[in-house]
Amino acid sequence: MSDTDLSAMDESNKRANDRYKWVVLSNTTLGMLMATIDISIMLIALPDIFTGIHLDPLLPGNSFYLLWMILGFMVVTSVLVVTFGRLGDMYGRVRLYNMGFVVYTFFSLLLSITWMSGTAAALYLVVMRIFQGVGAAILIANSSAILTDAFPEHERGMALGINQIAGISGSFIGLVLGGLLAPIQWRLIFVVSVPIGLFGTVWAYRKLKEIPRRADTNIDWPGNITFALGLIAIMVGITYGIQPYGDRTMGWLSPLVLSALVGGVVMLFVFTQIERRSPDPMFRLSLFRIRAFSAGSISSFLASVGRGGLMFMLVIWLQGIWLPLHGFDFARTPLWAGIAMLPLTLGFLIAGPVSGALSDRYGSRPFATVGMLVAALSFFLLELLPVNFNYDEFGGLLLLNGLAMGAFAAPNRAGVMNSLPRQHRGVGSGMNSTFQNSGQVLSIGIFFTLMIIGLSSSLPGSVLHGLTSVGVPIVDGRHAGRGAAGVNVVRVVPRLQPARTSLEPSRDREFANAHAIGAGEAKLLSVNNYKTLPQRSARGL
């Protein structure tokens, strides 16, 4: 074969590799976007889901369904991404990734065809949602590793940046989709994933190429089991810690929560001891000796803690208080709350790919560092906004936060993946995702706890002052203040739009309206409106 023929063959292979890497980027970005949209689409759609299955989640015994519809998906993905990353390293990342598309799409379809009602329907949705999370975990665990295999090192920052930002943006895009689709028909929030999943499944099966690898290691079952038990116990403790317990607004001192948290920590300690002695560990602790990996993973965790709960708080505030106070009908607030959050998504979409590409040339550390510093500044400026803020200022700060978080996320992920040996990229990607997803669950617990503590201490006085300032008798004002002190924000979430059933007005719904009053907006209510508060409360907050 002549030199000319060899040169032509090399050129042909190069063009084929160039085409293939863009196919990989497109497909894995679609998978990440689809998997993460469902993290938040459920939050916005909860009122319509519970109305559709004829279940009041605020009744005693029903809070289980409320909590696990919100957090079950995130708990499962946090627990399983490391395991599926490890299995991808052993048996083929593309093979596992293809299976993730199939599992996710299948259970999305099952979620949309619920035929039951009441508690049976709620339990069915929780179980199907958990299995949908299994599919998401497979996709998330292997997408970064497949990308890292396909792209040369000098282009990985850009590729991983696009993929990472798609994953983060999916959480915010889900808010808009949920607000748009759920009022039409709640099943549509699951149906929308089915055609996308089918397309992605066929596309991945036909186009993605497996890199041969030897399955010469064994699955670390003791490590997998102790890790899963420990992480699930801690997340269950956090989940129930923000629920009322007895006459307390939160359950951090309940025996269940304390046992789950302590037991989870003990199991994770046992897990670390097992991993140190296992010949084929699931969670390779030795990777933490790589400075870029350990620093990047911890940074991802902290960024997720700062970002995760904020999204929930802002959605609740917009949907329940700010939008209604500015003339939006309660039936339209889910959609407009998602639209109001779009500057955050826009910031991610702009900064992620740009900072990822620049990090390929100049290194990831400057972009990740500056991004986190600017994000901290944006959090501080959001704190300075008044209760009844101007949206232009609010939207500008959301955009700034999105740009900062996008500038951090893409280079940080690229730095983590570039630091890993080829044979450990799957498990390393899963470990990094575990830190990120766990941080989001912890963040929700922290944010809700701080909000409930703040409301419990300041809301009764604010409600009393607000009501008496518009002429309400002081006795009635004190009664409303005492009731508002016992309200747990978590239990108000499913009522953030008008109820369309004949459910009886509850104490929580009545005093949810007091939150808006206590926020300094009592002047918007008249004495006559207050007298009909129990009837008006059926609209929900």
Q: Which domain holds residue 269?
A: 220-281
Question: Is residue 497 classed as helix, strand or coil in its secondary structure?
Answer: coil
Q: Which of 300-314, 348-362, 375-389, 484-498 has the lowest mean pLDDT?
A: 484-498
Residue 383 lies in a domain: no
For the purposes of burial, counting CB atoms within 10 Å of the CB of 500, is it exposed (0-12), middle (13-18) or buried (19 or more)?
A: exposed
pLDDT of residue 360: 79
pLDDT bin (cut points 50, 70, 90) of residue 514 is very low
Residue 165 lies in a domain: no
Residue 170 lies in a domain: no
Question: Which residue, chain included where needed, has tokens 């993290």?
Answer: 39
Residue 201 lies in a domain: no
Task: Give whole-number Cα distances, 156 to 201, 363, 393, 416, 535, in Å.
Answer: 24, 11, 35, 11, 58
pLDDT of residue 464: 52
Between 409 and 138, name the one with better pLDDT: 138
Residue 227 lies in a domain: yes
Question: Is residue 248 classed as helix, strand or coil in its secondary structure?
Answer: strand
Query: Token pair for residue 106?
Result: 């299948």
Helix (H) or strand (E) holding 91, with range, is helix 63-91
pLDDT of residue 333: 78
Pairs from 250-258 (Cβ < 8 Å, separation ≥ 24)? 250/449, 250/452, 250/453, 250/488, 252/449
Query: Where does a domain end: 281, 300, 328?
Result: 281
Question: Does the structure show a pLDDT above 50 at 516?
Answer: no
Average of per-residue pLDDT across 498-514: 40
Query: pLDDT tens-digit profile of 308-348?
Result: 777 777 877 887 778 888 888 776 777 788 788 889 888 88
Which residues are CB-contacts of 391 (< 8 A; sequence separation ≥ 6)? 340
Query: Where does a domain end: 253, 281, 309?
Result: 281
Residue 520 lies in a domain: yes
Query: Where does a domain end: 281, 300, 327?
Result: 281
Residue 233 lies in a domain: yes
Say how far apart CA 152 and CA 160 lie, in whole Å: 11
Report the DSSP beta bridge partners of residue 245: 248
pTM: 0.72
For residues 431, 242, 64, 194, the Cα torsion angle rounded to the nearest 10 degrees is -50
Say if residues 182 and 334 touch (Cβ distance below 8 Å): yes
Residue 39 lies in a domain: no
Report the DSSP beta bridge partners of residue 180: none
Alpha helices (H) in 92-209, listed in sequence order: 93-112, 118-150, 156-181, 188-191, 193-207
Say how far apart CA 53 and CA 11 lie, in whole Å: 59
Say if residues 129 and 72 touch (Cβ distance below 8 Å): yes
Query: What secondary structure, in 3-state letters, does 432-462 show?
Result: HHHHHHHHHHHHHHHHHHHHHHHHHHHHHHH
Say how far apart CA 176 and CA 165 lie, in whole Å: 17
Number of domains in the chain: 2
Question: Is residue 320 classed as helix, strand or coil in its secondary structure?
Answer: helix
Say if residues 361 and 345 touch (Cβ distance below 8 Å): no
Task: Give whole-number Cα distances, 133 to 38, 129, 147, 181, 231, in Å.
Answer: 9, 6, 21, 21, 15
Query: pLDDT tens-digit profile of 376-396?
Result: 999 899 888 887 888 999 999
